[in-house]
Amino acid sequence: MKRMRRAFPDFSPTMTAKAITLGLLLLFLAASVHAQSFAAETDFLWAHAASDDDYASGKVITGFIGSGTELRIPPCIQGIPVTEIAPWAFLGGSLTYLVFPDSITNIGAMAFASNNLAAVRFGSNITYIGMMAFTDNALTEIYFPEGLGVIGYRSFSAITYIALPFRQALRPSGILHLPITT
């Protein structure tokens, strides 16, 4: 009787475990690189910020045409800092996680309303959040920087955390962290 040759080599349990571990490690690395990367400049619609110094003051993001749900806004577009998010820029999207760079100072009215946001991390230079900017989301965690001066009317309405007192959440580092509980 002829012996048939196996189509696949015979792996030992040790080799199989190493291959699985390596595969999982590569998958984890790919996922963590994706989570830490900024969205591509081409995923955004933008305009120059109004200023007297020939558009050098910054860019305003006016829309998002990308497909991601976890978004890190880039600090610069075409080498110019992104300083503002325009009103209604991300209204009615499918975002679940959002990180702002330190370059952002202003967020317009209803900019992120009616998404599926669960967590938001503001950069250290945010000073203004417009009216209803984050209303109607599923926020469970928000990090505010110490210098935030204005939170517009109903900016975080329709969110369960709203009853938490702001002053009690102030941490020694100066970051305001509001854990949301239901």
Is residue 119 a part of any domain in this protein? yes
* Strongest mean pLDDT among 33-37, 43-47, 101-105, 155-159: 101-105
Mean pLDDT of 22-51: 65
CB burial string 54-83: b at 16+ within 10 A, e below:
eeebbbbbbbbeeebeebbbbeebeebbbb
Distance CA 107, CA 165 (A): 22
- List Cβ<8 Å contacts ≥24 apart for 93-99: 93/64, 94/69, 95/69, 95/70, 95/71, 96/69, 96/70, 97/69, 97/70, 97/71, 98/70, 98/71, 98/72, 98/73, 99/71, 99/72, 99/73
pLDDT band at 54 (very low <50, low <70, confident <90, very high): very low
Whether the CB-CB separation of 64 and 45 falls below 8 Å is answered with yes
Is residue 3 a part of any domain in this protein? no
Q: pLDDT (tens digit, 9 = 90+) per residue, 73-109?
A: 999 999 999 999 999 999 999 999 999 999 999 999 9
**Which is more confidently placed, 29 or 98?**
98
pLDDT band at 116 (very low <50, low <70, confident <90, very high): very high
- Residue 16 is inside which H or E element, if any? helix 13-36
Q: Are strands 59-64 and 44-48 parallel, antiparallel or unpaired?
A: antiparallel
Is residue 13 a part of any domain in this protein? no
46 has pLDDT over 80: yes
The number of domains in the chain is 1
Whether the CB-CB separation of 157 and 134 falls below 8 Å is answered with no
Can you read off the two tokens belonging to residue 135?
Answer: 């209303």
End-to-end CA distance of the chain: 71
Domain span at 57: 39-179
Is residue 86 a part of any domain in this protein? yes
Is residue 128 a part of any domain in this protein? yes
Is residue 14 a part of any domain in this protein? no
Q: pLDDT (tens digit, 9 = 90+) per residue, 141-182?
A: 888 888 888 888 888 887 654 433 343 343 334 444 444 444
Which DSSP state fits 140?
S
111 has pLDDT over 90: yes
CATH number of the domain within which 151 lies: 3.80.10
- Kindly report the average pLDDT of the chain as a whole number: 76
Is residue 22 a part of any domain in this protein? no
Is residue 160 a part of any domain in this protein? yes
